[in-house]
Every structure is written in structure tokens, then in C-alpha cells.
Chain A
Amino acid sequence: DAKTTQPPSMDCAEGRAANLPCNHSTISGNEYVYWYRQIHSQGPQYIIHGLKNNETNEMASLIITEDRKSSTLILPHATLRDTAVYYCIVRVGSYSGGYQKVTFGTGTKLQVIP
């Protein structure tokens, strides 16, 4: 799995957009970008993933640069419940990729402030 780099912590005002960056300069052509978050004392929760196009779901948007060397997770209207550690992971995205282990970096601790 490609190595990712994330800022260790970020603050965001409640109701504002939270933009969490991730660098993955060694990403391979068949590797997807995945985002997970871990709310205190819970198991990691899947948020979103993408290959090269921008993606949006009910939780967040994922913006991937054209060269795919970095991405940004956007929480459009952060709430206090979004306070968590956010992990950016890159890995092969096929079904067979499910047989591969996932390596977690240190993630970004997002604190949403009232």
C-alpha cells in the first residue's frame, strides 16, 4: 500500500466545511483512495472512496487532484458529531483487494468547535 501523509490535527467551526488533506504521491494507477474515520472508542467507519474522479455521498465529498498525488475529504457542514480521527488510505480497489491488508497511518484528529 502507498504511504499517505496527513496533518496530525485540525480544528473546524461547527457548521463550516471541514477540508482534510492527504498526500499520496506514490500512489499506483490501480490504487484507490479510501477515507475512514474513528470516533472515540469505536471501530473505524468507512466514509468514501475514489479512483480519479471526484466523489460525493451523503457523508462527504472526495476531491482527487488530476495527478492523483493528493486528495481532500470535505465534510460540507461539520457538526460536533464529526469530531474524530480521519484516516486516508490508498490500496488496490478491486474485490481481490479485499484480501490485502490495510495499513493505517496516524490520521488527522479533527476537532469541531461549537
Chain B
Amino acid sequence: SAVISQKPSRDICQRGTSLTIQCQVDSQVTMMFWYRQQPGQSLTLIATANQGSEATYESGFVIDKFPISRPNLTFSTLTVSNMSPEDSSIYLCSVSTGWSGGYTFGSGTRLTVV
């Protein structure tokens, strides 16, 4: 299955600033998925990123707040813009393993906004 390298693993940021999270996959994948996990909560899908087209955002998430880039089949970034303490969460990327519909997840980025 695919191996995902996600960076940074954690960060503490000032409110009003932006943070870009990177996900590098060791194989080419068509779809990449970005999730948010707020403290004590389950995973919530932010958007689906397909190479060569704009990301598809879930209800409650907008491109201005969470711009996503997908420049090639092995890489994607998620930016958390104009951060507030409410953005403090773990952010994870995920790709399909290709077999029987399973998924592989990155190790996550723990973001704290102060």
C-alpha cells in the first residue's frame, strides 16, 4: 500500500496567520483526501483533491479558508488560512490504496492556534 509523508507533524501558530501542510505519497494516486479531527472528535472530510482540477469541498468548508493544491499525482498541500483558535485540530491526508477500496492515512499534523 501507499506510504504517505505528512509535514509538519505539529505546529503552534499565531492567530491570523496561515499554515501550509504537505502530503507526499510514494506512488501516483488519483484522489487525495483531506480531513480535520477536532479535539475528542471523529474525522471530518474537508475536501477531495483530484490532480488537474479544483478540489471538491464538503459542506461547511470553503476554498478561501482551506485552499488546496494538487500539482501532480504524488503531492498535495492544504493551507489553513487566517487561523483562529477554533482551527486547532489534527489535519490528515489520505489516499486510496487501490485494492478493494481501502485507504492509507498520513500521520497527521497537530495544529495549535494561540
Contacts and interface: CB of A to CB of B under 8 A. Distances in A.
B108 A99 contact: no
A81 interface: no
B96 A98 contact: yes
A34 B100 CA distance: 10
Contacts of B98: 95, 98
Given A99-B30, A103-B45, A107-B42, A43 B100 contact: no
A43 B101 contact: no
Interface string A39-64: 00111111001000000000000000
B33 interface: yes
Interface in B79-114: 90, 92, 94, 96-108, 110
Interface residues of A, number: 28
Interface of B: 1, 4, 6, 30-31, 33, 35, 42-45, 48, 58, 90, 92, 94, 96-108, 110
Interface of A: 32, 34, 36, 41-46, 49, 85, 87, 91-95, 97-107
A99 B33 CA distance: 10
25 contacts: A32-B100, A34-B102, A41-B90, A41-B110, A43-B92, A43-B105, A43-B107, A44-B92, A46-B102, A46-B103, A46-B104, A49-B102, A85-B42, A87-B42, A93-B100, A94-B100, A94-B101, A95-B99, A97-B101, A98-B31, A101-B33, A102-B94, A102-B103, A103-B45, A104-B44
Contacts of A85: 42
A43 B31 contact: no
Contacts of A105: 42
Nearest to B110: A41
B48 to A, nearest CB: 6
9 cross-chain pairs, A with B, having the tightest CB-CB distances, nearest first: A98-B96, A43-B105, A97-B101, A104-B43, A93-B101, A104-B42, A44-B105, A93-B100, A106-B42
A99 B31 contact: yes
Contact of A44 (B43, B99, B110): B43
A34 B99 CA distance: 13
A46 B92 CA distance: 15
